[in-house]
Structure 1
Amino acid sequence: MTHPLRTLAAMAAAVLLSTAQAQTPAADDSLYRAWGEKAGIQAVMQDFVVRLQADARMAPFFKDTNRDHLATQLTEQLCQQAGGPCVYKGVPMKEAHEGMAIGRRDFNALVEVLQQSMAAKGIPFAAQNAMLARLAPMHRDIINKP
């Protein structure tokens, strides 16, 4: 026969364990969903890459870039940043932009083009701002010209 205190201790441990598990928040994928999941992110990134190559300020940085490859890499990166199931496996930002002489003005122009793509694809304004907030810290690894 099981001792009553052992049974009580086992029950208490089970309650504590289930409470702790219930308090562990699930991964927040609300931004991922607000962007239309991977298909929505992909649509924005495809539009974005076309706009980058057409923009007079950005075109010199992207003239020799494979459009499809860049759109795929950006899709994976933003999908991950948005809390989606993707894993970005590309080159780290600092390494990818090394020696490109990117200044703050260039970075701001890129963000402007991204905003155009987000608006064109109907990304809600709050979701645009949330994504920009998640991407903003990357400027430290991208801007490499005073």
Structure 2
Amino acid sequence: MTIIIKQMLAVAALSAMVSFAQADTLYDDLGGQQGVANIVDDYITEISFDKNIYPFFKNTDIERLRTKLQEQFCMVSNGPCEYTGDTMEAVHAGMQIDKSQFNRVVELLQNAMTSQGVSYADQNRLIQRLAPMRPAIIHR
């Protein structure tokens, strides 16, 4: 192989590695910090208008909820955040949330993401990353 071909292959390989390293994260695909904040704001609005779900949140410190949801969504989407809130078990203790109520909250999150223009693929990616929390929330 000639030196020029070897150099071209090395440049192509290096270029591919740089592209992979700079690949967008889900956090980026959600719009970064502002996108996550907008999703959370719409999500809280969706919750506030749902007569079956709102009672779970009526005594909640909304600003703390907003902050902790932003941290959580940022962290699970590979953003530069750390979740500093309580465990899901502690947060949902005594609420006795059933499967249909849990599913409705997921629908409200989907509505918020749709209103923010998040693609269905990216919505599914976020929900897939949040799904492992489900057992810690239902019937606590």
TM-score by length of 2: 0.81
Unmatched 5+ residue regions in structure 1? 1-21
Q: What amino acid does structure 2 have at the position aligned with 1:105?
A: S
Unmatched 5+ residue regions in structure 2? 1-16
Q: Which has the larger radius of gyration?
A: 1
- Judge conservation of contact 1:50–1:67 (CA < 8 Å) in 2: no
- For residues 49-128 of structure 1, the aligned pairs below 5 Å read 49-128=44-123
Q: Secondary structure at the match of 2:36?
A: helix
- Which stretch of the first structure deviates more once superposed, 61-70 or 72-81? 61-70
TM-score by length of 1: 0.78
In structure 2, what is the Cα distance between the partners aligned to 1:30 and 1:116? 22
**1:77-127 residue CA offsets vs partner (Å, 9 max, x unmatched):** 000000000000000101110111111011000001101000001111111
Q: 1:43 to 1:105 in 2, by over 3 A?
A: same
Q: State the Cα distance separating 1:66 from its structure 2 match.
A: 2.0
Structure 1 runs of 4+ off > 6 angstroms?
none
CA RMSD of aligned residues (A): 1.8
Q: 1:29 to 1:70 in 2, by over 3 A?
A: farther
Of 127, 135, 139, which aligns to 1:132?
127
Please name the residue that 1:13 is paired with. none
Does residue 1:30 correspond to 2:19, yes or no? no
In structure 2, what is the Cα distance between the partners aligned to 1:129 and 1:144? 24
Q: What amino acid does structure 2 have at the position aligned with 1:30?
A: T
- Count of aligned positions: 122
Q: What amino acid does structure 2 have at the position aligned with 1:103?
A: D
Q: Percent identity?
A: 39
Q: Secondary structure at the match of 2:126?
A: helix
Q: 1:27 to 1:82 in 2, by over 3 A?
A: farther
